[in-house]
Amino acid sequence: MPPHTRHRWLDRFGAAGSLVCAVHCALLPLAIAVLPSLGLSAWLSEGFEAGFVLFASLLGLFSLAWGYRRHRAVRALGLLLPGLAILWVGVLYPPLHQSVLPHAVAMTIGGTLVGVGHLVNLRLNHGHVHDASCAH
């Protein structure tokens, strides 16, 4: 797979995953009441959530750093980094993590910022033209 196609796939995968995460976090208060009765309470565990945030961080940083090397615009990183910071605070800060609604709000906002950062990066890479002003 050529690097350009691989990069586009990574951004799409990251954006979709981050936006699914944001929806998951927005619906978390309802899920807390329903999932135990379905036997799916593992999806609410701290370990799963921390693992998902770690995966999103690694994918986002790799994908957007790769994109930055190509387009030299910081807009996508300006969305990704605050989004990741909010996600990590939501996972690691015990008072926020122990109260359901503020935790869900923080994770929703963070996941949305990470997803939008991927979409901006995808747009910046898709609109990139190799000409005399190209930096590489």
State whether the Cα torsion 99-105-106-107 is positive or negative.
positive
CA 21 to chain centre: 7
Of 43, 35, 58, 53, residue with least CA distance to 91: 53
pLDDT tens for the chain, 136 residues long, are 666 677 777 777 777 777 777 777 677 666 666 666 666 555 556 777 888 889 889 888 888 888 888 888 889 889 999 999 999 998 888 777 677 778 888 888 998 898 888 888 888 877 655 555 555 5
H/E stretch holding 117 reads helix 100-126
Residue of 98, 24, 67 lying closest to 75 (CA atoms):
67
CA distance linking residue 84 with residue 109, whole number of Å: 10
**Residue 10 structure tokens:** 């990574």
What are the residue boundaries of the structural domains of the chain, listed by start? Answer: 3-126
Contact 117, 79 (CB under 8 A): yes
pLDDT at res. 34: 66
CB 45 within 8 A of CB 72: no
- Please give the backbone phi and psi of residue 99, each rounded to the nearest 5 degrees, phi first: -105, 125
